[in-house]
A = this chain, B = another copy of it.
């Protein structure tokens, strides 16, 4: 039997709080799970700084990837049972695509590093590029497993993740408005944060998904379940992913990494402080092995060490991050935006270097999108299939989704040290505090 079709003698199950059990049936999937690159994901939190706000959200990218695999497996099972292809090009499901779909699902996030979005911002890395690299580079265990399927198999799997794979059904399973990735993370993040907002009816959605020639559509009698999913997603973004306090910790982290990088670049980092595993990143010369050595614990270990090091700013920011001292924030808008330089100057006048102690952070540039069928990215359409097989875009038949479409904004916030809000300051900076506070009312800049 060829490797890609080799089944385990007995299905292996992994207990999971979201899907109850994750079922692994193919040798190749089990071998991928057991690679060191995949196991590394156990040491990278899924939600980064969100666990500082939602204490239960300590789950790793490992469990998420397993979940995406499981949902994809269930989609394949449904498609194979109900919509198996009969003749090539009939728009139905070709189960020969199963393995590439499962591998892409499992591996779609394997390039994530610690605190991905923040880290990438400072060090100019790109987790999607790393994902492809890990899959296609011959030096990884993952690549070695995939090549056992066939020489071009790693490229195929990478192609699914890059949306260039030829079969749109496979691509949309992993990446579209309603894909296995989003469905898993909404349910999983809702469960671990303990919010209810991310809950939707996965079973129902899986039942009404169906392949067609350009991808995946949804039976019209499942419209309400799809609507509910869109809503859940909206609420999770507003209430969890965009939470101002998590962003306040993200800002601290950004500034901390920036400070370390600046010290290194200006040769102000002494030997003692030198974080060996970060040097390739400071020098912008990162091998795949360098990249794979990082995880949350490695960064935190350097922060732990920096807490006792000479540079006052590095030390202070490390302390703030490890011991959960988020920057505070106030909302601004197009009118009050012009106040920001003045506010930054006041912060500076209170003794804080404004480069490291003020920031703007908008929820727009967070790496999440919301449902917008009219955008020019073709993947953003959710298609509902009528009884007669014709398709109709969701927002044209759902009052609720239509109401949401294009209305969503997010917020823009100015971040600063909490002490700027001390009520009765008695120190030498008290004038600065009082002036600063006169510009903030009801959590907004005025």
A192 to B66, CA, bound (A): 15
List CB contacts (< 8 Å) of A164-212 with chain B.
191-197, 199-201, 203-204, 207
A295 CB–B CB distance under 8 Å: yes
A196 touching B200, Cβ below 8 Å:
yes
B55 touching A63, Cβ below 8 Å:
yes
A234 CB–B CB distance under 8 Å: yes
**What's the nearest-Cβ distance from chain B to residue A316, in Å?**
13
- Binary CB contact string for chain A from 316 to 329 against chain B (1 if under 8 A, 0 otherwise): 00010011110000
- From B199, B304, B319, B322, A196 is in contact (CB under 8 Å) with B199
Q: Which residues of B contact A36 (CB under 8 A)?
A: 319, 322-323
Contacts A300-B297, A304-B293, A442-B388 given; does A194 touch B15 at CB 8 Å? yes
Counting every copy of the chain, the complex holds 4
List CB contacts (< 8 Å) of A394-433 with chain B.
399-400, 403-404, 407-409
A310 CB–B CB distance under 8 Å: no
A42 touching B34, Cβ below 8 Å:
no
A333 CB–B CB distance under 8 Å: no
- From B20, B40, B400, A404 is in contact (CB under 8 Å) with B400
**What's the nearest-Cβ distance from chain B to residue A292, in Å?**
10
List CB contacts (< 8 Å) of A236-259 with chain B.
238-239
A120 CB–B CB distance under 8 Å: no
A43 to B51, CA, bound (A): 11
A126 CB–B CB distance under 8 Å: no
A238 to B235, CA, bound (A): 19
- From B300, B301, B386, B404, A403 is in contact (CB under 8 Å) with B404
Q: Which residues of B contact A20 (CB under 8 A)?
A: 194, 203
Question: Which residue of B is nearest A14, CB measured?
Answer: B55
Q: How large is the interface on A (under 10, 10 to 19, 20 to 34, 35 or more residues)?
A: 35 or more
- From B35, B63, B324, B403, A34 is in contact (CB under 8 Å) with B324
Contacts A16-B55, A195-B15, A298-B297 given; does A21 touch B207 at CB 8 Å? yes
A341 CB–B CB distance under 8 Å: no
A150 CB–B CB distance under 8 Å: no
- From B40, B193, B409, A399 is in contact (CB under 8 Å) with B409
Q: Which residues of B contact A122 (CB under 8 A)?
A: none
Q: Which residues of B contact A200 (CB under 8 A)?
A: 196
Contacts A60-B58, A231-B231, A301-B301 given; does A39 touch B193 at CB 8 Å? no
B51 touching A55, Cβ below 8 Å:
no
Question: Which residue of B is nearest A272, CB measured?
Answer: B276
A228 CB–B CB distance under 8 Å: yes
A203 touching B323, Cβ below 8 Å:
no
- From B15, B235, B239, B295, A300 is in contact (CB under 8 Å) with B295
A214 CB–B CB distance under 8 Å: no
A53 to B319, CA, bound (A): 33
B63 touching A56, Cβ below 8 Å:
yes
Q: Which residues of B contact A408 (CB under 8 A)?
A: 399
| In the A-B complex, the 6 residue pairs with the closest CB atoms | A297-B297, A17-B194, A403-B403, A301-B301, A17-B56, A36-B323
Besides A197-B224, A199-B199, A224-B238, 20 more A-B contacts (Cβ < 8 Å) are A15-B54, A15-B195, A17-B191, A17-B192, A34-B323, A34-B325, A39-B322, A40-B322, A42-B51, A43-B297, A43-B300, A55-B66, A195-B201, A196-B201, A197-B228, A234-B400, A295-B304, A298-B300, A301-B301, A387-B442
